[in-house]
Amino acid sequence: MSLYDFWLHSDVVSLVLAVLLLVLSVGSWVVMAWKWRFLSRVRRDVPRSVAAFWQASGFDEGRQRVAQFDQDACVLPLLEASLLPLGGTLASSGDRHHQLTRVLRDAMQAVVRRLHWGQTWLATAGAISPFIGLLGTVWGIFNALAGLSQGGAIRIEEIAGPVGEALVMTAAGLAVAIPAVLGYNFLGRRIGHIEAELEGFAHDVRALLAGPEG
Query: Mean of the pLDDT values across residues 113-121?
Result: 95
CA–CA distance, 80 with 102 (Å, rounded to integer): 13
For residue 149, report the phi and psi dihedrals to the nearest 5 degrees. Answer: -80, -5
Mean pLDDT score of the chain, rounded to an integer?
A: 85
Check: CB of residue 53 under 8 Å from CB of residue 62: yes
3-state per-residue secondary structure call for 43-79? HHHHHHHHHHHHCCCCHHHHHHHHHHHCCCCCCHHHH
Query: Mean of the pLDDT values across residues 61-71?
Result: 92
Q: Give the torsion through C-alpha atoms of 160, 163, 164, 170, to 10 deg.
A: -170
Q: What percent of the chain has pLDDT over 70?
A: 79
Q: Which amino acid type is present at position 159?
A: I
Q: Report pLDDT for 159.
A: 64
Q: How far is CA 108 from the centre of its chain?
A: 18
- Burial code (b: 16+ CB inside 10 Å, e: under 16) for 31-42 equals bbeebeebbeeb
Residue 174: how many other CB atoms lie within 10 Å: 14
Domain boundaries, the chain: 3-210
pLDDT(49) > 50: yes
pLDDT band at 210 (very low <50, low <70, confident <90, very high): confident
pLDDT band at 117 (very low <50, low <70, confident <90, very high): very high
34-43 pLDDT, tens digit each: 999 999 999 9
CA–CA distance, 193 with 211 (Å, rounded to integer): 26
Q: Which amino acid type is present at position 52?
A: A
Q: How far is CA 182 from the centre of its chain?
A: 12
153-163 pLDDT, tens digit each: 556 666 666 67
CA–CA distance, 20 with 31 (Å, rounded to integer): 16
| C-alpha dihedral sign at 119, 122, 125, 130 | negative
pLDDT(145) > 70: yes
Q: Report pLDDT for 15.
A: 83
CB contact set of 21 (below 8 Å; sequence gap of 6+): 129, 132, 133, 169, 172, 173, 176
Query: Mean of the pLDDT values across residues 76-81?
Result: 91
| C-alpha dihedral sign at 127, 129, 130, 134 | positive
Provide the total of helices (H) and of strands (E) in the chain, helices listed first: 7, 0
